[in-house]
Chain A
């Protein structure tokens, strides 16, 4: 069987999750010039919120259009939990530093600290309490099986499954909605203005704190939606789930052009495809090597990524 179509479909489905997660990195970077390393834990919180909803309603064997409805519910829960956590994170871990005029490096260290803190908080305290598991098992994966996998249609000789299709379509819808939001609304204009020139935007009457809060809320909500899609696709999570995905999403953001919303979409999809094609051509053990080699090559010729840094430029 030819591996091209399977790799393409799986690559896009994986890349869609990278892309949604990359949005959070790219927006925060665009506005604050900060790499929010705790974003991977914001995603992790979203997966647990989705799992809690699955357990609460006792979903099982959901397929067809019902699955779309369930995913919507999970996405709302994930977006609320992740968005709120991101705002709280900003308020506790970054705002005090910003107020005191600390260097960006200090905020970066604070981000790494917040990331480790959240991981351990979940593994040792919150997961055992929330999901009623013995304390020493808080670090083990939790499952919530609820999806009935169905074949939708075939591309070439590869059959596309419902979950992979929903992940891809869901991610595209969210990206388009966000893109329109940032380019058309007043709040979106504020975000763009702050990204472009914080001092001048303050003079023009933009409330920076409000913009920063909105940026974290939106980026967090996108991570929450990504978490809901992830839970539908894999149905399993643990306290460490965000680590590798976070690194990949950050890579996707850089690949597409950090600070650029459309770049995050392009970067995520390209990274997903490269990984899958790399696995087919060189073996799965080489997928990360191939992905990062491509990243280095792209940055050699386009140091600002495929689409360039552009949240601060007026055109986005």
Chain B
């Protein structure tokens, strides 16, 4: 009976799902005919379902990358084939089988969500089709031993460690109160943050909230008694907003921090007034519509805006990078799934969101966490967690 607002469900799923299947491919000329050869790359996610709002920027960004590449008149063009899974695992599996057998994709970007990724992963593995996800952050996805699975976004463990470090160094907190929502997303994340801030020399105390309830007063009372410098909440924005409201009304003024599940304007709205103002939200994703993070980010943000008449949104930069992995593979002459897979194993370039280089388990190496600062109802980028100052 758990109620999960669609947006939150999406984020949770995103975490896991962002496996992008890379190209499976029969390379080749079978595609658009003519004397130019073509490689088919699939992209899978929820394009028409209730979470489409989050997945469409992913598709747009990938399309942008592919169009830019095809516009250079290369020897081998790339055809991007969308597969609308509506985030339903059974549908995603059927689509993936179709993509492999009929469309002969050489790789896949996606699926966008964790649930579908967990189901589609084995199918791609068996067919030996490489995938690169832009948005799946669920940590256990990397533990399946899949060789053909990759993601260009860091998982929740990296996110938690990055935010934890930011709390002790960037914010400079000595006493941190850590709250989780008991979910499979929030609880492990809060635990990782707790470990990181304790390693950074801060003392911690914590509590859990019940997401079905409205009254967080016992948690507020505990936080007040502890008198922390910073509060971290592992959970989604709907409860995050209510929690900030009740903390502020209860007289707790410590800096509020949270992670990607709370990276939504709904956080400030739920908190009411200016209660959420100045709260700091971490995310392994780069959302930078103003292009302040660097030249590549600026170029991408401008191109995206020009093409789709909308600012870049969550996971767009990552999707652009995921598509670029395949583009670089094709540029290097790889057109079969096997060759592309080999290329992905050695790829190393500076993407829009981060340095793109994969570890043996498919995780992107390194992994930057970015901090966003609640300002009114928007969430502008503050900077990289390693260097940002609130």
Do A and B come together as binding partners?
yes
- Interface residue from A161, A236, A285 paired with B242 (Cβ < 8 Å): A236
Q: Is chain A's binding surface mostly helix, strand, loop or mixed?
A: helix
Q: Is the CB of A236 within 8 A of B214?
A: yes
- Interface residue from A14, A139, A285 paired with B215 (Cβ < 8 Å): A14
A230 to B213, CA, bound (A): 12
List, in ascending order, chain B residues with CB within 8 A of A241's CB.
214
A288 to B215, CA, bound (A): 13
List, in ascending order, chain B residues with CB within 8 A of A10's CB.
215, 217-218, 221
Q: Which of A81-89, A91-99, A140-148, A182-190 contacts B (4 or more CB under 8 A)?
A: A140-148
Q: Is the CB of A243 within 8 A of B273?
A: no
Question: Does A304 interact with chain B (Cβ within 8 Å)?
Answer: no
Least CB distance from A62 to B in Å reads 13
Least CB distance from A136 to B in Å reads 6
Residues 282-307 of A, flagged 1 when their CB comes within 8 A of B and 0 if not, give: 01110110000000000000000000
Q: How many residues of B contact A (CB 8 A)?
A: 31
Q: A10-B221, A140-B238 are in contact. Are A244 and B213 (CB under 8 A)?
A: yes
Interface of chain B residues 312 through 357 with chain A (CB within 8 A): none
- Interface residue from B1, B212, B215, B225 paired with A1 (Cβ < 8 Å): B225
Q: A141-B238, A149-B249, A276-B217 are in contact. Are A136 and B210 (CB under 8 A)?
A: no
A36 to B217, CA, bound (A): 29
Q: Is the CB of B238 within 8 A of A145?
A: no
Question: Does B379 interact with chain A (Cβ within 8 Å)?
Answer: no
Question: Does B270 interact with chain A (Cβ within 8 Å)?
Answer: yes
Residues 228-268 of B, flagged 1 when their CB comes within 8 A of A and 0 if not, give: 00000000001000100100010000000000000000100
Question: Does A312 interact with chain B (Cβ within 8 Å)?
Answer: no
Question: Does B97 interact with chain A (Cβ within 8 Å)?
Answer: no
User: How many A residues are at the interface, by size bracket?
Assistant: 35 or more
List, in ascending order, chain B residues with CB within 8 A of A287's CB.
210, 218
Q: Tally of A-B residue pairs with Cβ under 8 A?
A: 82
Interface of chain A residues 82 through 137 with chain B (CB within 8 A): 136
Q: Is the CB of A139 within 8 A of B3?
A: yes
List, in ascending order, chain A residues with CB within 8 A of B245's CB.
235
Across the two chains, which residue of chain A brings its CB closest to B1? A243
Question: Does B224 interact with chain A (Cβ within 8 Å)?
Answer: yes
A287 to B273, CA, bound (A): 30
A244 to B218, CA, bound (A): 17
List, in ascending order, chain B residues with CB within 8 A of A245's CB.
214
Across the two chains, which residue of chain A brings its CB closest to B217? A10
Question: Does A240 interact with chain B (Cβ within 8 Å)?
Answer: yes
Least CB distance from B97 to A in Å reads 30
Least CB distance from A189 to B in Å reads 37
A234 to B217, CA, bound (A): 11
Question: Does B33 interact with chain A (Cβ within 8 Å)?
Answer: no
Least CB distance from B357 to A in Å reads 39
A227 to B224, CA, bound (A): 28
Across the two chains, which residue of chain B brings its CB closest to A285? B208
Question: Does A196 interact with chain B (Cβ within 8 Å)?
Answer: no
Give B contacts to A, CB under 8 Å. Answer: 1, 3, 5-7, 50, 182, 207-210, 212-215, 217-219, 221-222, 224-225, 238, 242, 245, 249, 266, 269-270, 272-273
Sorted from nearest, which 3 A-B pairs have the closest CB atoms?
Answer: A279-B218, A145-B272, A10-B217
Give 29 pairs: A residue, B residue, CB < 8 Å, sorted on A.
A1-B224, A3-B225, A6-B217, A10-B217, A13-B217, A14-B217, A136-B6, A139-B5, A139-B6, A140-B5, A141-B5, A141-B270, A145-B273, A161-B249, A234-B214, A234-B242, A236-B242, A236-B270, A240-B212, A241-B214, A243-B1, A243-B212, A244-B210, A244-B213, A276-B217, A280-B222, A284-B218, A285-B182, A288-B210
Can you name 4 extra interface pairs (CB under 8 A) apart from A140-B266, A287-B210? A1-B225, A234-B242, A244-B212, A287-B218
